[in-house]
Structure 1
Amino acid sequence: MDEAILDEREFSKQLNQNNQRAFLKMIEAYEKKIAPSMRAQGYKRINQKERTVIFSFGEMTFIRSRWKKGDTVRIPVDEKLGLEPRQRFSQELLYQITELSNYMPYRKVVAVMELLKKIYITKNTVQHALEVAGQLINEKEEYDSLSVQSWTEEEKEKVKPKILYVEGDGVWVKRSTDKKKKSLELTHFVVHSGSKKGKRNVLMDKLEVVSTHYQRAKDKLLDLIYQHYDIDSNTLIVTNSDGGKGYSPKVFKELADAFNPKKHFHFWDAFHVNQALKKNLSPFPSGLVNQAFKAIKNRDKSGLKTVLDTAESLIESDERLEAFQRFSRQLMKNFRFTDKPESFGLSSNGIGIMESQHRKITYRMKNRGMYWSKKGANAMSQTILLSHTGELRDLFFGEWRSHFDTMKDQEKNTSGLPCHDENKNYTLPQLKRTNVKKKWGEHMIEERD
């Protein structure tokens, strides 16, 4: 009896060889099984061709038959394995690569696949996986817009919240493709029905939207709210933001007005208000900062103006004066939004959650020498959200894909369909079909470590 310690690497290698033999036997058996059925359908075998594909269990080379009836050519083995024409990687492998890429740089994904699976890929393979995911995201958005028209209350029960919370903010990442614009903004919205206390607070009925296209993100946010929440005259809508460009009180008022709620409360995020006060008043005596915070706490607008005027009188630089005046005007204009939720009988729980919700995106996409193209940032940020909600696998393998193919076939065979005006903006309550996106080309994603 051999008493040497087991070499797991050699044992794993033997298992892989056994797997390969089992795979080839399965292909051979399926070829024999499907042949009578193909002949019964009127197909004739025209030839056999070799194909090499990298699966999640390793690289496999196999021979399969091609069948033809009229102008139609089918390869049953490829259909059985879920392989696309001229695709070198299986869908399962592309899904796993995409999942890993949501947590680590591309080169680390390559190293992990080699270490754990003895599968040898390159950084370009990871880019390709994200390209495929990006295309599927586009198709899923189109599918959702087509299928939403057939929804009924019985088919999909909506959440009926007493209070609906909506927040929005931008995430800035470094840009790789534009020398003039060194940063790229990801528009990020979060909507939920409240915060549930526990060891870690959980946002209930949470939905998220992220996109490199601001208007598209707003449209999708409205779609999601309309599709998933039942808002009536008894619903309160609470919104919160840092007041930056694209996230002003006016923007959220327009959003709330689209649903005619009982009441809409908007708040200027307390964290950003405190941060802005400290940043702009730090060059002055500390007493002014304390007075400013006290004025906001006591809802003393005139007292806050006195503090700001005093600080302004101490500024000597024209450049600094102009910047401080902009801040002062914004603070005075939006002073009413600096009040606490408790002043209106609301809880602060579930308000001011954007920074924590950003973290899963910023952890992966910011710092560490990361640079992104616009399409690359869009694909990565959206797959990160899908990974965190457990929906990424559905993107690759969900039933929606076969339903979408059926819809597209029906669309091709149906004449007289109304034309869609792709320049028309979203309006409620009618849900418009989203624009059909162009196919994502090569080199869509650029990430440099």
Structure 2
Amino acid sequence: MNTIISKLYRLIHQTDNLIDFEESVRTLMYELFASLLGDVFTNMNTVIVKKKQAEGWRVERNDEREIQFTFGGVRFTHTLMHDLEGHSHYPFDEWIGFKKYKRRSPFVEVKVAEMAAESTYREVAHVLKEWTAVDISHATVGTIVREVGRAQAIADKDMVIDLEDSAELPEGEKVEFLYAEADGVFVRGTEKKKSHEVSHAIIYEGWDKSGKRVSLRNQKVLMTTKPTSEFWKEVQALTANHYSLEKTRVVTNSDGGAGYTAEKFQEAFSQSEYPVLNQLDPYHVFQGLNRALGAKQSDYKTELRKALENHDLEHFNLWLDTYESTLEDSKKTEKVKVFRTYILNNWDRILNWKKRIDNPPEDARNLGAMESNQRRVTYRMKKRGMHWSPEGAEAMVKVKQGILNGTLREVYLADLKRSARKQREVKKVVRMSSYLHQPTRPSMGAKQGVIGVYAPHSSAIGKLAKSFR
């Protein structure tokens, strides 16, 4: 402690402003903690080696390793050993959870991925360099994102496999109503004129209102760039692992595009004994109306909106025919035909779901949250000249999914999490390693001495000496 205080005093004298002082203190703090943790790791390695030697393991050699933490690179000694069968191990690395060939701590990697889900790779690298001891390139940030995202993708795939292999559905929460919406959004690929479709689903139990702000209750998200057939399997597995839907009324919403039809929803939520109610997304209906009739307000648009809201097909055809008869431009006529076809093909799905079921919830609202939720993808992965490889796009959406569902850190550390037994071993080894610590200098006690006065007791220095007796 005295050494640290003396260094702080020295830094105060060596710097002439608080900015330089604080930056120097931060560097000192990083170096100190990295050094101390390195000593702890080395001591714990010694304890584990002795324990393994007692079990018959053989020491091969001692090696140096460095792991990058947020506060700096931690260097420590770890021992290569051979077990009774002759297999090579670094027992300390296996015990604490360091993977082979890893140079960064799990927290650094998962934190980098979480930051990259909101900012560009270059921005993440810059912020890390400014605020932590982590100095990596933007390319390394991309590598970390792909690795962390791959962990979430593997967890989702395993969830599908477990559901397919299981003899019965897992026991989940029982809810009276469940709502689901799905849509796709395209992001540009690295190959010319090629893009990737991000399939996106949100599943929620209702709505919570705080003042004027409305949020989705217990929202769960699924995103992937894989084919829609795999997407719907993951949706089904995610839902089955959280809910028992036998007595649940499932209400769904989509734009009716290829891959997001009513049949897909029915298949994904087939465990419910009720038919899955699917409505055409109102946003896309009125977006199609604006494309066909223009953005300006008109009597035609007003009457067509009324016809759609009242589900009056005769009124709809009457007003659309009337509008079409006023057109002379063939391109505008074609837009009207496209809109008519879209509406007629999905007429049975243009509905107000609250009027189609008995006793809807008191807080029931119209569905249509998908468009605002798509911004999670578009704000990060579109515009600004962004192009994505297949692996990079899949990793990014899986990282965002893991963050939103609160599963990213859990799945990334799935094979590193200690069991209760192993955690008890941790406490035991930490106590044992403390025995290895020896003070650098044995205490000699307080020393005593006398300073000669060499002056009359009546003098000023003599009186001062008498006051100390």
Does residue 370 in structure 1 map to residue 386 in structure 2? yes
Map of 2:259 onto structure 1: 246
Spell out, residue by residue over 1:202-245, the C-alpha distance to the aligned partner (whole angstroms, 9 max, x if none).
3234322111121111011111222322222x432211112222
- What's 1:395 paired with? 411
RMSD across aligned C-alpha pairs, in angstroms? 2.8
Partner of 2:430: none
CA spacing shift, 1:97–1:119, aligned 2, 3 Å: same
Give the AA of the match of 2:368: G
Q: 1:169: Cα distance to partner?
A: 0.7
> Which residue of structure 2 lines up, in the alignment, with residue 89 of structure 1?
104
- Could you say which residue in structure 2 is the equivalent of 1:35? 49
Note if 1:130 corresponds to 2:145. yes
| Contact persistence 1:82–1:91 (CA under 8 A) | no
- Residue of 162, 169, 182 corresponding to 2:183: 169
CA contact under 8 A between 1:158 and 1:228: conserved in structure 2?
yes
Match of 1:189 in 2: 201
Alignment correspondent of 1:356: 372
Match of 2:277 in 1: 265
Displacement of 1:131 in angstroms is 2.1
Higher mean Cα deviation, 122-131 or 343-352? 343-352
Could you list the per-position Cα deviations for residues 81-129 of structure 1 after superposition, in whole angstroms to 9, with x for gaps in the alignment?
A: 5322222222221111111111111001101111111321001211111
The TM-score with structure 2 as length reference comes to: 0.77
State how far apart, in whole Å, the 2-side matches of 1:255 and 1:135 are. Answer: 24
Superposed displacement of residue 386, structure 1? 1.4
Give the match's secondary structure for 1:104.
Answer: coil
3-state SS in 1 of match to 2:210: coil
Structure 1 residues 71 and 327, CA gap change in structure 2 (3 angstroms): farther
Distance 2:149 2:96 in 1: 22
Quote the Cα distance in structure 1 between the aligned partners of 2:154 and 2:297.
57
1:14-42 Cα offsets, whole Å, 9 max, x none, are 11221132023113312321221121222
- Please give the residue correspondences for 1:214-225 in structure 2 after superposition, counting only pairs within 5 Å: 214-225=228-239
Is residue 227 from structure 1 mapped to residue 235 from structure 2 by the alignment? no
Cα distance, 1:146 vs. partner? Answer: 5.6
Aligned letter for 1:51? R
Amino acid at match of 1:262: Y
Going from structure 1 to structure 2, the CA distance change for 1:255 and 1:117 (only over 3 Å counts) comes to: closer
The 1-side partners of 2:274 and 2:144 are apart by 46
Structure 2 match to 1:431: none
Residues 54 and 60 of structure 1 are in contact (CA less than 8 Å); yes or no, is this contact kept in structure 2? yes
**Structure 1 residues 303 and 119 mapped into 2: Cα distance closer, same or farther (>3 Å)?**
same
**In structure 1, the residue corresponding to 2:173 is in which secondary structure?**
coil
**Which amino acid in structure 2 is aligned with residue 359 of structure 1?**
R
CA distance in 1, matches of 2:281, 2:411: 34
1:100 and 2:115 equivalent? yes
Q: Decide whether the 8 Å contact of 1:305 with 1:332 is kept in 2.
A: no
The CA distance in 2 between the partners of 1:138 and 1:77, in whole Å, is 29
Q: Does 2:317 align with 1:305?
A: yes
Greater mean alpha carbon deviation, residues 338-347 or residues 381-390 = 338-347
Are 1:204 and 2:217 an aligned pair? yes
State the shift of 1:280 in Å. Answer: 0.9
Given the superposition, is the C-alpha separation of residues 323 and 106 from structure 1 closer, same or farther in structure 2, using an over 3 Å criterion? same
CA contact (8 A) 1:284 1:311 kept: no
Residues 60, 227 of structure 1: alpha-carbon distance in 2 compared, 3 angstrom cutoff: closer
Q: Closer, same or farther in 2 for the Cα pair 1:58/1:293, shift >3 Å?
A: same
**Counterpart in the other structure of 1:47:** 61
Alpha-carbon distance in structure 2 between the residues aligned to 1:99 and 1:307: 51
1:140-189 alpha-carbon deviations (Å, 9 max, x no partner): 23443465567988xx651212122121111222222x2132x3210111
Deviation at 1:50, TM superposition (A): 2.6
Q: Structure 1 stretch 42-51 or stretch 144-153: which is displaced more?
A: 144-153
Number of residues of Structure 1 aligned to a counterpart in Structure 2: 397
Partner SS state of residue 103, structure 1:
coil
Secondary structure, aligned partner of 2:103:
coil
- Which has the larger displacement, 216-225 or 104-113? 216-225
Partner SS, residue 228 of structure 1: coil
Structure 1 residues 354-373: Cα deviation after superposition (integer angstroms, max 9, x where no partner): 12222222222222222211
Which residue of 46, 66, 73 corresponds with 2:88? Answer: 73
CA distance in 1, matches of 2:181, 2:356: 18
Provide the C-alpha distance between the structure 1 equivalents of 2:40 and 2:297, rounded to a whole number of angstroms. 79
What is the DSSP-based 3-state SS (H/G/I as helix, E as strand, rest coil) of the residue aligned with 2:241? helix
Q: Give CA-to-partner distance per residue, 1:262-296, whole Å, 9 cap, x none.
A: 34322111222112111211189822212211222
Q: State how far apart, in whole Å, the 1-side matches of 2:76 and 2:201 are.
A: 47
Report the CA distance between 1:400 and its aligned residue. 8.3
CA contact (8 A) 1:194 1:350 kept: no
* Counterpart Cα distance in 2 of 1:400 and 1:327: 54
- % same residue: 26
| Cα pair distance change 1:326/1:249, threshold 3 Å | farther
Structure 1 residues not aligned, in runs of 5+: 404-449
Q: Does 1:116 align with 2:128?
A: no
Distance in 2, Cα, partners of 1:228 & 1:95:
25
Q: Quick one: distance in 1 between partners of 2:182 and 2:375? A: 14
Contact 2:293 2:336 in 1 (8 A): no
Structure number with bigger Rg: 2
Residues 270-326 of structure 1, C-alpha deviations (whole Å, 9 max, x = no match) = 222112111211189822212211222333211211222233334445555444323
SS of the equivalent of 1:197 reads: strand
Task: Tell me, yes or no, if the aligned pair for 1:188 and 1:208 is still in contact at 8 Å.
Answer: yes
Deviation of 1:382 after TM superposition, in Å, equals 1.5
| AA of the residue aligned to 1:380 | M
- The one-letter code sitting in structure 1 at the alignment partner of 2:193 is K
